Amino acid sequence: MSLGRSLRALRKNKGLTLAQLAEQVESYVGNLSRIERDAAKPSLDLLYRITQALDYRLADVFLLAESEESNTRQTALNAVFISLLEQDQELLLEFAKLLQSRAHKNLNQVQVELNSMPSENQAGNGKISTTDLKKHETRRIR
């Protein structure tokens, strides 16, 4: 991803218009628009003011710009991630690892405990029918 597209994604993530950002960084809308379209390169001073206005570090902007991924969901996730507090970033990483392990878990490794399934006696007490029990078992096995 280019520097300009990264800046655009971060600005949009922050919910700012070009006019609002231009005012905050004491620049012009047209100048920022050219930067976001990669028609112009910002000076280091302007880039620093932009990142400060967006509450990002220069390193984070360059990291996002260096990513080769053109996936907009990935870009949005990166933009949100770098805007989080460090402890929230750690929490998000742990959650992502949990989701990843769930996605890659082999179904043969899934075990169902016997006490998690209703017994035939429970099925007869009006709470669940035998038909419902069989449907439940079929869904759990799949």
**3-state SS, one letter per residue, for the chain:** CCHHHHHHHHHHHHCCCHHHHHHHHCCCHHHHHHHHCCCCCCCHHHHHHHHHHCCCCHHHHHHHHHCCCCCHHHHHHHHHHHHCCHHHHHHHHHHHHHHHHHHHCCHHHCCCCHHHCCCHHHHCCCCCCHHHHHHHHHHHHC
**pLDDT tens digit sequence for 16-31:** 999 999 999 999 999 9
**Confidence at residue 81, expressed as pLDDT on a 0 to 100 scale:** 84
Backbone angles phi, psi at 7, to 5 degrees: -65, -40
Q: Which domains, ranges and CATH numbers included, belong to the chain? A: 3-89 (1.10.260.40), 108-141 (no CATH)
**pLDDT tens digit sequence for 66-106:** 775 556 777 778 778 888 888 998 998 888 888 888 776 65
| Residue reference for tokens 């992502």 | 96
Higher pLDDT, 125 or 39: 39
Distance of CA 109 to the CA centre of its chain: 28
**Confidence at residue 65, expressed as pLDDT on a 0 to 100 scale:** 81
Q: What angle do CA 9, 13, 14 make, to 5 degrees?
A: 120
**Confidence at residue 127, expressed as pLDDT on a 0 to 100 scale:** 46
Per-residue pLDDT averaged across 119-132, rounded? Answer: 46
**Cβ-contact 4, 31 below 8 angstroms:** no
Is the entire prediction scored with pTM above 0.95?
no
